Amino acid sequence: MSRHPAPGTGALRAGPLAVLCSLITVFLPGATSAQTHPLDPPTWEEHWTALEVLKDAGRMDDSTGFSLVLLEAPAKDAVWGWRPGADVPRSLLLVTRRGAMTSEAVVDVKNRRLVSWTDRPGAQAPWLDSEFSALTAAVKKHPDFMAALAARGITDLQWIECFAGPPGRFGLEEEEGRRLAHVHCTDSRLRRNDWTRGIEGLVVVGDMISGEILRVEDEGVVPVPETNADFGAHGLGAPRPDPKPILVTQPQGLGYTLTGHQVAWENWRFHVRPDQRVGMVISTVRWADGQDVRPVLYEGHLSEIFVPYMDPAGGWFARNFLDSGEYTSGGLGKPLARGIDCPDYATYLDMVVVTDSGRPRDVQNVICIFERTTGDVAWRHLRADYQGRPKRDLVVRAAAVLGNYDYIFDWVFQQNGSIDVGIGATGIAESKPVVDRVASPGAGNGSSDEGWEGGRDDSYGRFVDEHIVAVNHDHYFNFRLDMDVDGPVNTVRREGLRAVELPEDHARRSVWVVDGAPLRTEDEAKLNVVLTKPAIWRVVSPNRSNKQAYPTSYQLKPGSMIENLFLDGDWPRLRAGFIDHHLWVTPRRPDEIYAAGMYPTLSGPGEGLPSWTAGNRNIENEDVVLWYTMGMHHVVRTEDWPVMPVAYGWFELRPFDFFDRNPVLNLPKKP
């Protein structure tokens, strides 16, 4: 779910250590590098250069709003072929809005040149920072709104806060040609946590371009609760006693090196950069075995977040947020707190984001990098004597704040060649004020024991506090994984496990076997996890084999599965078509980056993956991209209130015949 994202501040700086090249790790504490990698994030100076180029070209004025400034990545083969000291092309993609027109500019900031300007008629740029409160003054003057507040006993508007957000699309005539907003308001007095104080049943529909209030919808009076759900120092209750310390130190220095945005740790080599739209991008991931540095993943990142709420009320049915595409104002990534979000000893990276005016702004500590040892075992065996080794991990972490929800994004590099990708959901479950104080007698199992037609206040959620119901909702996360397993040409295989019946004279009745087949077209690669039909998904190299003559590969091991429960033809499902399948595979195209399309704000049906795959393109022995969707259906517990404990979900990129044997046999006996 999203409201106005919280801002952040800071300055971009390099890490404390340096690596001299992509193959040799040299520890130089305190050193930095002047090298610029082709995938480094836009700098403050580059932002300003792009603005000056647009100004000189007559492409911006005081009315121009800037939604995004992103790196326009160079060609993939140029990135793989780059070496320190080589020339680095630098171009930025800027998404602007002037009036109703969304436009894209590509600026070569190295040569101060406008490469292209493209108008996108009908496309809706992501919400500007100023738009979240743009209609507040007009709403507070509207007589129907004033009357609705008076009916609720509210006559003083001093503490009424309103925010305008994109409602999605539902095939309505009024949506055509408009930048519609749904405005919700809160009585924020008395409480630090004002999520309990929404003015329920009241929605204002406005046009962001004209500033016109189209109508005020009032479904009836629900009193604003006086419930106290504070969770700061005044709402925590008696603190627990301080625990006995657990100390983690690295007295001999960090176990990884960082040159700008390039990381070397154990056998791993990769690049990490902050990104305004998706938060964090992991690139050029390689495994170094001596002089043999093998590519695994060209680029991996979050592609989209979809959070639809399951309440048909007028103020709720339109809450189906495509968070990564709609709510990037100020950048998806937000500052990380030292010692809480990441260990004190972590290394931090900052970023520069664009403001509405196009001017850059620093955001500090948006990515952290740290090693950890959790007491886990890398491998063990006990026979005549005990043999085993402990493990340590390298964590690359970012966090997003999207209104009430906070998300933690982890890429965990392991010594055995696996990469775990995790999402932690925390923050505040979005709730609605209701008339009833608590659940009805006999409704101990939660919402809708008598069926959804029961009409209870908790028919579409659960009571978490007095007069407060947290609404049922989903979290979908799609990841884009541009795989390059031992090179850019790969094939994805689905290898199903099936039972076979043994001969009648056998003591056993059955065993299972593996049936493998390459996925040749995009239609064949639209896959879902079915527990009764287990399968392995592998990205296979056609050009390299291991010692046992098996082709090298990486397995995408699913986790945290979510099933699409929308009926066919439902508009939220049509807008977020990527949720129809857990896995999609496409041939790589540089302009296919976001699962719901480049412009999901107020978008129509079929954008992104459904549109791209309609041609059923070949994916066998191609440069392929995997799109994986994970998530959860969230039926809110009382334990999730007032702030939700972090709930993690994971998937894994796992070497499968990539090595000749277990790659961590030679780990030291201390982590």
How many C-beta neighbours within 10 Å does residue 242 have? 6
| Bridge pairing between strands 405-414 and 393-402 | antiparallel
Structure tokens at 432: 């609605």
Distance CA 410, CA 350 (A): 17
Give one DSSP letter per residue of 11-78, joined into a string.
Answer: -----S---SSSS-----TT-------TTPPPPHHHHHHHHHHHHHTT---TT-EEEEEEE----HHH
The answer for residues whose C-beta is within 8 angstroms of residue 173's C-beta and 6 or more apart is none
Determine which one of 405, 476, 594, 599 is catalytic.
405
- Three-class SS state of 264: strand
E-strand ranges in 171-289 read 180-187, 202-207, 213-218, 256-259, 262-265, 268-275, 279-289
How many C-beta neighbours within 10 Å does residue 640 have? 20
- Strand partners for 511: 500
The single-letter code of the amino acid at 533 is: K
Q: Say if residues 508 and 560 touch (Cβ distance below 8 Å).
A: no
Structure tokens at 423: 């999402």
Determine which one of 323, 420, 482, 657 is catalytic.
323
Dihedral sign from CA coordinates of 589, 591, 594, 597: negative
How many C-beta neighbours within 10 Å does residue 627 have? 24
Verify whether residue 628 is a known catalytic residue: no
Distance CA 17, CA 265 (A): 12
Verify whether residue 405 is a known catalytic residue: yes
Q: Which of 367, 339, 338 minimizes the C-alpha distance to 351?
A: 367
Distance CA 474, CA 606 (A): 20
Q: Which of 659, 314, 366, 632 minimizes the C-alpha distance to 486?
A: 659
Q: What is the dihedral of CA 340, 344, 347, 350, to 10 degrees?
A: 50
Distance CA 322, CA 305 (A): 5
Which amino acids are annotated catalytic? 323, 405
